Amino acid sequence: MQIVDREGTAEEAKKLGLKDGEFDLIVGHLGRKPSFTELAMFSGMWSEHCSYKNSILLLKKLYSESDRLLAKPGEENAGSLKINDKQAVVFKVESHNHPSAVEPYQGAATGVGGIMRDVFTMGARPIATLNSLRFGHPSKDARTKYLLRRVVKGIGDYGNSLGIANTGGEIFFHESYTRNPLVNAMTVGVADIDKMATAKIPGPGKWVVYVGAKTGRDGIHGASFASKNLSKESEEERSAVQVGDPFLEKLVMEATIECIQKKLVLAIQDMGAAGLVSSSSEMAASGNVGVRLELEKVPARETGMVPFEFMLSESQERMLMVIEPGNWEKVKAVFDKWELDAAVIGETTEGKNLQIFMDGKCYADLTAEILTKKAPRYEREQKPVAMQQGAADLDQLQKLLEKSDVVGVTKLFAKLLAHPNLCSRQPIYRQYDTDIGLKRVIGPGQNGCVVRVPDSDSALAVTIDGNGYYIAIDPYKGAQHTVAEAVRNVAATGAEPLGLTNCLNFANPYIPENYWFFAQAVTGMSDACREFKVPIVSGNVSFYNESEDGPVLPTPTLGVVGLIEKAAHAVPAAPADLSSKLNLYLCGKFAPSQQASQYHYAEGKPLGGPLPELDLKAEITGAKKMASLAKAGVLASAIDLSAGGLMRAACRIAFACFESSGKMPSLTLDTAVLGKGLADTLLLGETAHSYLVAVSDTNAAALEKEQSAEFPVVKLGTLKPEGGKLALGKTELQLQELYSAWAGGLREFFR
């Protein structure tokens, strides 16, 4: 096929983001120099964001075995697992870090839109969205406050308009994220197994159909933009940030799901990163067929667009479908009903070539697998980093309690509870619609959210978690801690963990120390998942998370989905009915440490380890015990111990009771039963494998029967309906004062 486009050059390849030697590699694959349009297509598909060229060799080692698994990771747009014989859960998490750093509102909004499309493209109706956010400290940097407010508004406006409940999330503040915030979005959907869609094209002779919004010049080179470090010049790259329209996405979602349910779709993929070139080449390569596209038929909202712009545009709310020619009128009727564009822009062909035409002239002609499967694969040099030792343990709480200094203890606890990393997240999640769809059982602000499975008695517990602090100290063990913490969050609700999705946020992989952190974290994560027998079913890698100030903390974000057979068995973080006294028990192996704790961070101590003890067998036992106790109706409430330690967990139970009833309960904690040690460590240190649960007198014996070496059960105190006090031995605090500090920690940043 004669190509009319001019040849691309090695110099242009560098400007487009390709690395040294990759232009020559392209020439070697093609047996000629690429046309400029082809070169632009390579710049998108061989970018880090699309090709995973510096991570795929390690990612292939991730644990992904399960009898519930419906497709191997990476084969489809999102991961999917069987809920039961008829239904599947579909879920994935992705990053939109660089766009959010440059244009926070649209960057965050389109991040939500993109992950939604990954889910409903498979025929699943989204039922919950979550987010994981990382920023610098907003009180120390005016731009950070601006980024925080605009990102949260972008997430809220898009999700609320789309009509999908935002049911949970997490946020963490650290100075390393000041210029490079992390914005990770997760979506969970449910599909009928027999009506799910695939991205694999079944063969030649099918029509390629463009549906959704018109194509413009927004987002061009977005994938390449996400594959390099942020700098002062990044502000000038706003054109690489997409612009979203949630109301249009709602229409696209409904039309797409309708076509899939009517079995009018043979294959489908959303146009995300790298736009049309990504969707067409990946679908062609997965089906081992050719695709011919005629770009003049693509609905456009701008005039004068040239082939590479059509191919690389990342305009939002667009899908690429493959259908039988005989079904075109039916597909067109669906999209006409929803008042959306739909156009036949090509066909699948014999052979394996992706051919790009415009006005009858050929601009690109190459095999799809060169763009996809033959992208370069690198395993970079690693240079281990010695673990930094932390500061000496603090004893200030111990001294205050010995003196029964109520004022001093109150001030210390209030300071910690007001810290942005430990305070209430209400100022954020109250900007989101958390109830739309009437599927929520347990909402945000607790362990994990719980949502009902449509047309079923079951429920799904979902959470999203990360701890860059731990990873920066010990990436292998820190990754295992992160898996364990995410599993504990869903286990605390009474759920059996089903699967995991990850978003791996790391710095420049070409720096050996950075790559070592990445490799160690991936290995630690995989090893932990293997022990838990929880498969990693989908994910995303985001490299180059650094600015001129340096790299962010290495931050793998993990989303876990768990199954509760009966929604009525779901366990909240605070009792639904606190009309009488309940008993508080500490369950699980309790081994707190001040090192690497938020207590130390809030007190200005240097980052250092070692990390708290981690016993994966104890974690697995604890997760199983919590599920069985929930099923038996033993637990009135449960919360896992994490950042802020036992003190924060106990306060969160009391505060949740207050917010639901308007009455502040009373807490009594007998710390003497915890054994010897500084009060600072016992109450404010962090530990794995531990839960704080509330049970009635009648259920106390059933809980105590579950005690074992790997699951100790210790009566710690009581929870009473009224009184508003926290009793720690001889020291009695007013919970209302602590609540005011906790509730107000983030408010000033949203005024």
Catalytic residues: 49, 96
* Sheet strands (E) in 581-721: 582-587, 637-640, 666-669, 691-695, 713-720
DSSP per position, 511-574: SHHHHHHHHHHHHHHHHHHHHHT--EEEEEEE---EETTEEPPPEEEEEEEEEESSGGG---SS
Element (H, E) at 489: helix 475-491
| Three-class secondary structure of residue 290 per DSSP | strand
Is 350 in contact with 203 (CB distance < 8 Å)? no
Name 361's Cβ contacts closer than 8 Å, sequence gap at least 6. Answer: 4
Residue 190 pairs with which residues in a beta bridge?
89, 125
Q: How many CA atoms lie within 13 A of 580 on its CB side?
A: 4
Backbone angles phi, psi at 35, to 5 degrees: -70, 165
Distance CA 697, CA 187 (A): 39
What is the CA 70 to chain-centroid distance, rounded? 21
Helix 475-491 / helix 616-631 crossing angle, nearest 10 deg = 10
DSSP per position, 637-666: EEEE--TTHHHHHHHHHHHHHHHHHS---E
Cis peptide before 427 (omega within 30 of 0): no
* Sheet strands (E) in 106-261: 125-135, 166-173, 182-192, 207-212
Terminal-residue alpha carbon distance, the chain:
61
Q: Sign (positive/negative) of CA torsion 82, 83, 87, 92? A: negative
Closest CA to 693 of 609, 608, 571: 571
Is 464 in contact with 557 (CB distance < 8 Å)? yes
**Per-residue CA distances from 647 to 357, 587, 607, 692, 735 (Å):** 65, 15, 22, 10, 12
**Per-residue CA distances from 370 to 320, 355, 450 (Å):** 20, 13, 43
Tokens 């998370």 belong to: 545
